Structures are given as C-alpha cells and as structure tokens.
Amino acid sequence: MPWAWQHSDWPEFTWQPGCLAAAEAQFLIGGGVFLGTVRHLDTAGQQQLVIDALSIEAVSTSEIEGAILDRVSVQSSIRQQLGLGIDLRHIKPTEQGIADMIVDLHRSFAEPVSDDMLFGWHRMLMNGRRDLRDMGRYRRHAKATRIVSGAVHAADVDYEAPPSTDVPREMARFIDWFNRTAPGGTDPLPALTRAGIAHFYFGCVHPFEDGNGRIGRAIAETALAQSLGRPTLTALAATILRQRTGYDAALQRSNSGLDLTEWLHWFAAAVIEAQQRSIARVEFLIGKTRLLDSVRGLLNERQQKALLRVLRDGPDEFEGGLSAGDYASITGASAATATRDLADMVMKRVLLRSGERRHARYHVNMPVVQGSAI
C-alpha cells in the first residue's frame, strides 16, 4: 500500500464538502466567547492566563513525544521572555528551547511561514542536543525516515516519509500552500480545515531529523491564530495529550491516502474541545479572583495555604475533590485539625462537601461566571 506522498496526485487532498461546516462556525463563535470572557480579567489576570496557557502547551506538546518537563521552569522561562519577571532558577536547555518556540509562535503567528521560521523553531527545540547531524535545517541523511512501533526485533513500520533528497522541494510546496490558504491569501481555507490539513501535510513530509510532531502542532496553532487574527491560547496540545491514542490512530489511518475526511473530523472535534477547555480556564481564573477576594480575612493560615494549593494549577487539579488526607499533607495539620478546618471552610461556603467519613471529598465553591457558555 503506498503512502500518501507516493500517490500520483499528491498533495491534492480531498475531503467531504461541508463536513466541518458546523465545527467551523462553532470555532469562530467560541473565539468570540473566549475574547469576551478574557475581558473580565484585569491586566495581571490576563498576563497570568498567557503564562499558564503557553506553559501548559509547551509541557503538553513535549509530553506527547515522551519528554516530561518541569512546568515551573517552563513558566519561569516564558515569564522572563515576556518581560513579566526575572527568576534566577536554572532552566534546562530542553525546557528553555520549547519555551522559546512557544513564545515565538505567540508573537509571530501573523507572519507568513518560511524556511527560516521553521529552522529557527527547530534550533530552539533542539537546544542542548549534541546527537543530531541536521539542526536548524531539513534532514539530509540517506537512510529512510520511518515511524515504527512494536518490539525492536519485530518492529512494524507505521509510516515512511519521503526521502531526504525530496524534502526541500516538498517543503517549498508546503510553505507555498500554507501561505496561499491563509486568510487574505489567494486560496483561503476555513480555520479548522486549513489547520488540520497543515498538521497532516507537514507530518507526511516529516522534514526534520527530530521535532516534527511539536513543530507540526505549532503550525496548526499558527493556522488557527491566523484565522482569528490573534493568538488563540487554545489548549490544543493538552487536549491531544488526553486523547493520545485516538490522535495517533487517526493519523495512522489517514497516512496512506489523500482523503482526509476522517482525520479532519477528529482534528476539528479536538480543537473545539480545546477551545472549550481554554474558556473554562478563563472562567476559572475569574472565579478564583472573586473567591479569594470574598474570603480575605476569613481563613486561618492553614486554610489559605490549602485553598491556594488547590487553586494553583487550574480547573483540572483535584478533579475528584480534596480529601482530609490531602489537606493534612498540604498543611502539615493533624487529622483532627484537618477535619475541623475543612468543616469550617464548608460552613463559610468556601468548600462544598460530598460523601461521608473517609469517603468525604471537598470541592471549591467557585463563583459562576455568567454569559460565557458556547
């Protein structure tokens, strides 16, 4: 069975007309909802949103490729690059590199894609690597570039990319297509359609020795941002990470043909979910600010520490609720003190309780942000 790039009409991708019409409309509406919700944040809140969103994407897009990064270090690097603070902690080259790339994407999303832009992203991503022959340029090795799975002694070839000698020509064609299909280009495509095709197309060419997945997702983010005329801050990589198996399977099912209908359906659903998660994060930040304002002076030091810890990492932290054991671990309180403190926070309507005895769980009573649902 030939790979997509081996078809005679490559890269003339096809998809069912109108298959994404509803999703395209929902994405544009969601973009407006997101922007309107962000306006409820003060300047400090908006800055924190950018730092949180960029750091989550940086860590998530790396984890998809099996690299586990220190989120605090990535946040520190992003904060410094945005001029929002100086942190003297040591930041590893890998964490510095992905932070550099994510910030550059955030700043330069409106620019046409070029070889130099992609080479720059690759150098950032490969920061500190000493094992690559081709850093900041397209691959040149003669050996076939393959994606394999299974045991080393009996690996399955999931995909084989075009030979390195074809990469410059293929990338020139890809870059021309990407810029022509941008808003205002000669052949504009709808947001989700263009971003989904761009991700798939770039992945098929697989132009770099390493880092293709991360750069491919960055290109998709660029396409989405260009369609809205501003950085999306969409939790795309974080959403893909949560659906990693489906993501890999959808790409693999499509890499031997040019009909992208199935892949585009999967990708569009992931983007819509990511956008909704991003709106939920803004609502969380607004609710967090209101909650902390409302309890100022009402909580003891232990209660404040526990509440700030629960609120630190966003709406997905402590999804199952805070237990008395969690509270004791965070604050160093005894079991009896933890129980009393938690009961007091419930009485003051800071927390809501579910379950009984050792099954009791406590959830933050977050103020509701009105008028921001899609």
What are the sequence ranges of the domains in the chain? Answer: 4-282, 299-364
Say if CB 274 and CB 244 are below 8 A apart. Answer: no
Say if CB 57 and CB 236 are below 8 A apart. Answer: yes
CATH of domain 299-364: 1.10.10.10
pLDDT at 372: 45
DSSP character at residue 161: P
Say if CB 367 and CB 289 are below 8 A apart. Answer: no
Rounded CA-CA distance 313/319 in Å is 11
- Sorted by sequence, the CB contacts under 8 Å of residue 312 that are 6+ apart come out as none
Nearest C-alpha neighbor of 119 from the set 105, 133, 136, 132? 136
User: At the topology level of CATH, where does 4-282 sit?
Assistant: Fic-like fold (1.10.3290)
In a structure prediction context, what are the per-residue pLDDT tens digits for the chain, which is 374 residues long?
799 999 999 999 999 988 899 999 999 999 999 999 999 999 989 999 999 999 999 999 999 999 999 998 999 999 999 998 777 678 999 999 999 999 999 999 999 999 999 999 999 999 999 999 999 999 999 999 999 887 666 778 999 999 999 999 999 999 999 999 999 999 999 999 999 999 999 999 999 999 999 999 999 999 999 999 999 999 999 999 999 999 999 999 999 999 999 999 999 999 999 999 999 999 989 999 899 999 999 999 999 999 999 998 676 666 678 999 999 999 999 999 999 999 999 999 999 999 998 889 999 998 765 544 44
Quickly count: other Cβ atoms within 10 Å of residue 148's Cβ. Answer: 12
